[in-house]
Structures are given as structure tokens and as C-alpha cells.
Amino acid sequence: MIDLSTTIALAICSKNPLVIKVLGPTADYIGEGIKSLAEKQVKNVKRIFRRTSEKLDNHGTPTGAVPPRILKQTLEEGGYVDDELTAEYYSGVLASSKSLELG
């Protein structure tokens, strides 16, 4: 599984003249693959956040913040969530963690 920072690094490198010289057409292929993966990940995370927002609208928005570890986990793994059940799970985790007061 490729993480976000690796995806960004590869995307930047795929347009680097040195990388293009070494990899040739493969650099374009890698760049397109990374672009496609990033678009899908953004779409999946947006779905989780949209569902979380709906949950908060239905049950009131708590004043607490989402703990950084939960947000990190959601952003890292949520991009790979392409099924409705798991998206529902992550949205529930985000919504319920927001009710915790940090302090």
C-alpha cells in the first residue's frame, strides 16, 4: 500500500527530467497511475467526511475536536475505502470522536 507522501514524491519525480531520462515513457505511466490513485483517494475521503457531516447534522455538532491520531488514521486508510460499509464505519469513528473534549 502506497502512502500519501510517497504518492506526492512520485508524482513530483515523474515530471523530473532526470527521472524521465532514466525511465523514459514509464515516467509518464507512473505519473498517470499516481494521478488516478490520488483522485480515487480524495473521492473516498470526501465520502467519509460527507457521511460524518450528515451524522453531526442529525445528532448535533459537539464542540470537541477530532483527536489527531484518529484523523491521521482516517486520512491514511480512508483513501483506500471504496465500500459503503467501511466508509460508514470511518464516518462513525470521526463523528463519535468529535464528541470527546481535548484538553
Q: What's residue 86's pLDDT?
A: 97
Contact in structure between 93 and 70 (CB atoms under 8 Å)? yes
**Residue 75: closest CA among 83, 84, 66, 65:** 66
Amino acid at 69: R
User: Is the pLDDT assigned to residue 42 strictly greater than 60?
Assistant: yes
Q: How confident is the model at residue 23 (pLDDT cuts 50, 70, 90)?
A: confident
User: What is the pTM assigned to this prediction?
Assistant: 0.72
User: Is the pLDDT assigned to residue 31 strictly greater than 70?
Assistant: yes
